[in-house]
Amino acid sequence: MEFYILFGLISYILGSIPTAVWVGKRFYGIDVREHGSKNAGATNTFRVLGKKPGKIVLCIDVLKGVIAVLLPQIILPATDHNILMLYKITASVAVILGHVFPLFAGFRGGKGVATALGIIFAIHPQAACICLLIFLLVFLIFNYVSLGAMVTAFSFPMLIIFVFRETSQPLIIFSIIIGASVIITHKKNILRLAKGCENKMYLIKRKNS
């Protein structure tokens, strides 16, 4: 039990590093949570501050997920696979909770998409690569980051269960939890998509006509 608490606590603190908020305030004097979608994530950083800070925030937020998942493996490399996976799931849930409800930013954070991507890459790289392709395809077609994130989140457990046919119960449960958590944090985006007023972004910049 002590390792669940340890990995959960460390991962929550790691997730609580509010990259978008700190970058915006330190270098631009702007709290990204007061602009754009009012979200402290990579997408809103791209929208409010531009490409360079957006890339920095994206990379760090992805890295938070990777580190959280690898931490149990580094500290307890000889642990039984299923137990180790449970530790990784604990760390994954905690790091996303930290990102969404950051201790160091008044519990107002992002939606955890970039951090979830880092988690997926660390746990199942093959599924993660397919998820990334799915996201890019949806994003390129519809120009909605939120839609791409939600379709990808739904696809992840489908890939784990039906494509890769994983038999590890902890991994299957994890894939469902991580997918559901991303979709749940996008409930406002779902409403905006339904109303046709969701913010669009363009991976390939449009030329002015």
- Residue 122 falls within a domain, yes or no? yes
In sequence order, what are the residues at sequence separation of 6 or more whose Cβ sits closer than 8 angstroms to the Cβ of residue 190?
150
User: What is the number of residues in the chain?
Assistant: 209
Residue 37 pLDDT > 90, yes or no?
A: no
Specify if 121 maps to a domain.
yes
Any domain includes 21: yes
| pTM of the full structure | 0.90
Burial class (CB in 10 A: 0-12, 13-18, 19+), 165: exposed
| Res 126 pLDDT > 60 | yes
The answer as to whether 72 is a domain residue is: yes
- 168 lies in which domain range? 2-195
What's the number of domains the chain is made of? 1
Per the CB < 8 A criterion, the answer to whether 181 and 98 are in contact is no
- The per-residue pLDDT for 202 is 86
Residues above pLDDT 70, as percent of the chain: 98
- For the cut 50, the answer to whether the pLDDT of residue 173 exceeds it is yes
Task: Tell me, yes or no, whether 65 lies in a domain.
Answer: yes
Residue 93 included in any domain: yes
**Domain contains 205:** no
Measured CA to CA in angstroms, residue 35 lies from 39, 46, 47, 188 at distances of 8, 12, 9, 16
* pLDDT value of residue 208: 54
Which stretches within 16-100 are classed as H helix?
A: 19-23, 42-49, 51-75, 81-100
Greatest C-alpha distance within the chain:
61
> Is there a domain that residue 204 lies in?
no
